Chains A and B, each alone.
Chain A
Amino acid sequence: MDDVVSGDARFGILNDVPVGVFVLRRDFSVLFWNRCLEDWTGIPRSKILGTHIGKLFPHLTQSKYQDRLQLIFEGGPPIIFSSQLHKFLIPSPRRNGQMGIQHTTVTPIQVGTSGDYLALFSIQDVTDLTHRIQEYRLMQDQALEEIKERRRVEDELRKRERQQAATSEIGAFCLKTSDLQEVMNKSVEIIANTLGVDLCKILLLNESGDALTLAAGVGWREGTVGKATVPTGPNSQAGYTLMIKAPVIVENLQTEMRFHGPPLLFEHEVVAGMSVPMISRQWTIGVLGAHSREQREFSPDDVAFLQNASNLISVAIDRKHAEESLAQRSIRDALTNLYNRRHFHDRLVEEVSRAGRNRQPFAVLLCDLDGFKLVNDTRGHQIGDEVLKRASRSIQESTRGSDLIFRWGGDEFVVVLSNADRTGILIAADRIRKAIQKIGGEFGLDLDLSIGVALYPEHGTNEDELIRLADRALYIAKKGGYRVYIGTEEYEINEHSVQAVFQPVMDVLSNERLGFEALCRDPEGKLSVPEFFKKYNAIGQLSQLKRICFLSQLRIAEEMGLKRVFLNIDFDLLSRVTPVPKSAMMEVVLEISELEALKDLEKWLAIAAKWRSAGYQFAIDDFGAGFVSLPFIARLIPEYIKIDRSTILQAVSSRPFGGFLKSLLQALSSYVTKGIIAEGVEREEELQVVKDIGIFMVQGYLFGRPEALQ
């Protein structure tokens, strides 16, 4: 009771404060215990005063309290037992059974002037405060949670927005770009960026459908894109995707069971990924994939994004293919499926630029199907079309794949032979011709090709030049009978272009040689005389050839010291050439075909007079084979008349005609100063008839062929 009295006497004022207060002596016995503590603990002061505090609250005997409190009794600094570190000092159950939370300070109180101190504990109940703080914290946590959730949703929305923007970007790119490779390259880049993956790829199914080629991608090793292939079927993620025609998501490639062994992915240390089929109009054309080197999840949004991108790219690929086939159709001839004339321009531009780059020549062959018009006329257009189709195919089959073939017109074709020399061109042309001839045989037709060839760069460096030259070459090929003709270079005509040959003219009465008729031949001996002249006629150089012949024959005859020579000439030549001076020792007889003498009689007579005054004589050639221009003969009065072989033969076979001819020639003889010559006499029988008619000047194989003079 002493304690109650002494404690209350001193600290009674603290009974009414709303704070738990108690006082300990140095021996830890309780000196004061206020009402508040009685309320809190349910321990009346009567029960606790004078008692060691540890008896009722054993935890206070722990050294973490004892050691600190000890100093208080030495007058040391106040002590704090915070609610955060201790929750409570004196257990005070509240109504809900939980302990009240307390903040405690302990201060020393000096007892009189002795060095003795008491420890005054004041305990503040901070339960409500703490709870409020906790509630506040909870609210804050909730708010934080909400913010987090909102952020997550926002992130998701933002991601979706990003993916939608990316999808639009791919779509827009597909629309504006016609280069498919560029579309694919750009798309994989956008997809990789949007999904944040290390690798993205477009695999396209090859034509045979047994493998997929890495057509575009990002993140793959150098040299992989455009080359690497992946098998179809369950031996790759892409193959498996194709099989099931649905998205395939792989969280860990190492533990994947649905398919196995895609070395391409393992080589690139891929861990996770997803792939979707590329489908266009029900056709699966490839696989679009996105892969990560780290473990990651792909959300349904991610898959939807990839599938959308895949659809866009697939449509772009499909559209491109459709465009290509349309373009293919518009550049081809409907009947033969060869390239058409319209396409020639584009391809020739390409060919010219390639040839320029590689310094390789190429040849343009303009081919004309000889004999085709007759097919249409006689066999009908249906057969004609069939022939054209077969001819086209055979041209294709007899050229290289790199050669380009165009249908140029009705029965004309153009073949562009790349990197070919003259020999190669001739071989190719020959092969094409043989093929055409064979087709002709199959149809029972006489078909052949005439081919005019122009060379790049020799004959031209652009479409116009090359085609114009090929056209001229074709003309020469046809008219000159060459079939194949390269270039249009003018024939350089000189004395070597022709060979002068001489055929003796005999006096069969005296058996003496009167002279020679000079003729021209192909110096190479390939062409017959008509062919030879036809060739020069075709290239417009016939008159020049004739002039060369004339001068060459005249020169040789003079050199050989011939007494008399008959030279074939026409008025056209005579009108252009001034009379060539000739040796007075040699008699030169100009043979004029009567056909040419028909027109412009006066003019020709004037020209003849000019030549005559220069010492030349005249003979009417081919008499009996064509028109007889009697007025011309009557006015000219030629030195000789030469009777054509056909007329002789007629006389041989018909006695009455022989009689007629004899009478005619007798009548004519007064208009010929030197005589009548029979040409082309080959047999004795013919000679006999000629003699019977009264012709004694004769030439023909019987007396000698035209030959070069030695």
Chain B
Amino acid sequence: MNIRPEQFDALKELINIGVARAAGMLNQMLHHSINLEVPQIKLFPSDMLKNELQKLGRERLATVRMLFKGSFSGTAALVFPTVSASKLAAVLSEEDPETSDMDSVRIGALSEVGNIVLNGVMGSIGNVLKEQISYSIPTYLEESIASLVATSRSDPTGAILLAETRFSIERLQVGGDIILLFESSFDTLLAAIDRMLEVDLG
């Protein structure tokens, strides 16, 4: 499996557009500017996934995860340290993070934030690539990042494309990762990227 550099770059740009769009929406909701880093994209055998994910940290994290299926499939996830998640939820829901039943608030609010961000990314990819993809309703989890793998049924012999973007909201001291896992046959994805490149070139 080879990905040409221009395909990488195109994918980066797609993700960047999507994340930027999601950031715009979040910005609207939070009234705080969001910093985004350039996405990092890696390709590796799927049995290496666990190692790769563990590099992102071992602690418990708040994760909003959405599965997607279609001409390319995988997992999109928004991952925060739980402290960031609590702060973000507090800002969003105007609740005091110190008190009370944070769980219900956190789950509701963070699910929606994850939904916004992930929709921004996936929507823009799906939109640009004009490919048929269906999505699960986003779910909120609190677990270590490695468990993303356990719950995703990837083909152990296939390859995995991991895209990661770090974002932070400085004013709130909130930070996290946007992770996209494209599982196994992303021929369709690459083909679609090629088509897009041709259109642009044409």
In whole angstroms, how far apart are the Cα atoms of A450 and B122 in the complex? 125
**Residue on A with the closest CB to B118?**
A77
* B64, closest chain A residue (CB): A80
Interface residues of A in 134-153 (CB under 8 A from B): 136-137, 140-141, 144
Q: Are A78 and B122 in contact (CB under 8 A)?
A: no
Closest to B136 in A: A78
Determine how close the nearest CB of chain A comes to the CB of B55; give it in whole angstroms.
27
Is B123 interfacial (CB 8 A cutoff)?
yes
Of A77, A107, A136, A141, which contacts B99 at CB under 8 A? Answer: A141
The stretch among B101-109, B154-162, B175-183 that forms the contact with chain A is B101-109
Residues from chain B with a CB closer than 8 A to the CB of A78 are 115, 119, 135-138
Is A74 a contact of B126 with CB atoms below 8 Å? yes
Contact A80 B122 (CB under 8 A): no
CB of B28 within 8 A of chain A?
yes
List the B side residues contacting A80 at CB < 8 Å. Answer: 111-112, 115, 137-138
Contacts of A74 in B (CB 8 A): 123, 126-127
Chain B 133-158, CB within 8 Å of chain A: the 1/0 string?
A: 10111100000000000000000000
In the complex, whether A526 has a CB less than 8 A from a CB of chain B is no
B157 to chain A, nearest CB (A): 28
Q: How far is the CA of A133 from the CA of B29 in the complex (A)?
A: 24
A185 CA / B17 CA spacing, docked (Å) = 75
| Contact with B122, one of A76, A107, A133 (Cβ below 8 angstroms) | A76
Query: Is B68 among interface residues, defined by CB-CB distance under 8 A?
Result: yes
Encode B82-121 as 1/0 by CB contact (under 8 A) with A.
Answer: 0000000100110000011100110011011001101100
A363 to chain B, nearest CB (A): 83
- B123: chain A residues within 8 A (beta carbon): 71, 74, 76-77
Asked if residues B119 and A79 are in contact (CB atoms below 8 Å), the reply is yes
- Contact at A77–B119, with CB atoms within 8 Å? yes
Residue in B closest to A144 when the chains form the complex, CB atoms: B99
Q: How many interface residues does B have (CB within 8 Å)?
A: 31
**Residue in A64, A79, A85, A103 whose Cβ sees the most chain B Cβ within 10 Å:** A85
What chain B residues lie within 8 Å of A657 (beta carbons)?
A: none
The answer to whether B28 touches A64, judged by C-beta atoms less than 8 angstroms apart, is yes
Decide if B2 is an interface residue (CB 8 Å cutoff).
Answer: no
A76-B127, A133-B104, A140-B101 as given contacts; A84 in contact with B109, CB under 8 Å? yes
Instruction: Compute how far the CA of A75 lies from the CA of B135 in the bound complex, rounded to whole angstroms.
Output: 9
CB-CB contacts below 8 Å: A420-468 with B? none
- Asked if A77 contacts B127 (CB within 8 A), the reply is no
User: Once the chains bind, are B29 and A85 in contact (CB under 8 Å)?
Assistant: yes
Let me know if B126 and A133 touch, CB within 8 A. Answer: no
By a CB distance below 8 angstroms, the chain A residues around B137 are: 78, 80, 105, 107
**B101 (CB) vs chain A CBs: closest residue:** A137
A83 at the interface (CB under 8 A from B): yes
A77 near B122 with CB under 8 A, answer yes
Which of A79, A136, A137 contacts B115, CB < 8 Å?
A: A79
Residues of B within 8 A of A67 (CB): 25
* Distance (whole angstroms) from the CB of B182 to the closest CB of chain A: 15
CB closest residue in chain A, given B114:
A80
Assembled-state Cα–Cα distance A637/B58 (Å): 143
Q: Which residues of B contact A140 (CB under 8 A)?
A: 100-101
State the majority secondary structure of interface residues on B.
helix
Interface centre among A63, A76, A141 (most CB of B within 10 A): A76
CB atoms of A77 and B101 under 8 A apart: no
B126 adjacent to A76 (CB under 8 Å): yes
Minimum CB distance partner of B127 in chain A: A74
The answer for the CA separation of A63 and B116 in the assembled complex, in Å, is 13
- Tell me which residues from 378 to 420 in chain A have a Cβ below 8 Å from any Cβ of chain B: none
Chain A residues lying within 8 Å of B28, measured Cβ to Cβ, are 63-64
Asked whether A64 lies within 8 Å of B25 as measured between CB atoms, the reply is yes
Q: Is residue A81 within 8 Å, beta carbon to beta carbon, of the partner chain? A: yes
- Chain A neighbourhood of B111, CB < 8 A: 80, 82
Q: Is the CB of A75 within 8 A of B126?
A: yes
Residues of A within 8 A of B133 (CB): 75
**Closest-CB distance, B37 to chain A (whole angstroms):** 23
Q: Are the C-beta atoms of B108 and A84 separated by less than 8 Å?
A: yes
CB distance from A384 to the nearest CB of B (A): 93
A68 at interface, CB cutoff 8 A? yes
Query: What 1/0 mask marks residues of chain A from 51 to 77 whose CB sits below 8 Å from any chain B CB?
Result: 000000000000110011001001111
Q: Find chain B residues with CB under 8 A from A79 CB.
A: 115, 119
Could you say which residues of chain B place their CB within 8 Å of the CB of A136?
101
B136 cross-chain contacts in A, Cβ below 8 A? 78
CA distance A133 to B102 in the complex (A): 10
The chain A residue with its CB closest to the CB of B24 is A67
Tell me, rounded to whole Å, the shortest Cβ–Cβ distance linking A235 to chain B: 49
Q: Which residues of B contact A85 (CB under 8 A)?
A: 29, 92-93, 108-109, 112
Q: How far is the CA of A67 from the CA of B100 in the complex (A)?
A: 33
Q: Which of A63, A84, A137 has the most CB of B within 10 A?
A: A84
Query: Do A84 and B105 touch (CB < 8 A)?
Result: yes
Cβ-based interface call for B132 (8 A): yes
| Structural contact, B119 and A76, CB atoms closer than 8 A | yes
B100, A68: Cβ atoms closer than 8 Å: no
Residues of A within 8 A of B118 (CB): 77
User: Does residue B66 face the partner (Cβ distance < 8 Å to A)?
Assistant: yes
Q: Bound complex: CA of A40 vs CA of B126, how far in Å? A: 36
In the assembled complex, how far is the CB of residue A656 from the closest CB belonging to chain B, in whole angstroms? Answer: 141
Given contacts A64-B25, A107-B137, A136-B101, contact A75 B132 (CB under 8 A): yes
B179 to chain A, nearest CB (A): 15
CB proximity of B69 to chain A, nearest CB, Å: 11
Instruction: Assess whether A81 is in contact with B29, with CB atoms less than 8 Å apart.
Output: no
**Nearest CB on B from A145, distance (A):** 11
Shortest Cβ gap from A237 to chain B (Å)? 41
Per-residue 0/1 for B8-44: is the Cβ within 8 Å of any A Cβ (1 yes, 0 no)?
Answer: 0000000000000000010011000000000000000
Task: Answer whether A64 and B29 are a contact pair too, CB < 8 Å, given A82-B109, A84-B93.
Answer: yes
Q: How far is the CB of B151 from chain A (nearest CB, A)?
A: 18
Per the 8 Å Cβ criterion, residues 68-118 of A in contact with B are 68, 71, 74-85, 103, 105, 107
Chain A residues with Cβ under 8 A from B29's Cβ? 64, 85
Q: Which residues of A contact B93 (CB under 8 A)?
A: 84-85
CB distance from A137 to the nearest CB of B (A): 5
**Which of B66, B92, B100, B135 touches A137 (beta carbons < 8 Å)?**
B100
When the two chains form their complex, are residues A71 and B108 in contact, meaning their CB atoms are under 8 A apart?
no
Nearest residue, chain A, Cβ from B132: A75
A-B complex: 8 closest residue pairs judged by Cβ atoms: A77-B135, A76-B123, A84-B108, A82-B108, A71-B123, A82-B112, A80-B115, A84-B109
Instruction: Give 19 A-B pairs besides A68-B116, A68-B119 with Cβ atoms closer than 8 angstroms.
Output: A74-B126, A77-B68, A77-B126, A78-B115, A78-B119, A78-B138, A79-B115, A80-B137, A82-B109, A84-B89, A84-B92, A84-B104, A84-B105, A84-B108, A85-B93, A133-B101, A133-B104, A137-B100, A144-B99
A-B contact pairs, 20 of them (CB 8 A): A64-B28, A68-B25, A74-B127, A76-B122, A76-B123, A77-B119, A77-B126, A78-B119, A78-B135, A79-B119, A81-B112, A82-B109, A83-B108, A84-B93, A84-B105, A84-B108, A84-B109, A85-B112, A103-B108, A137-B100
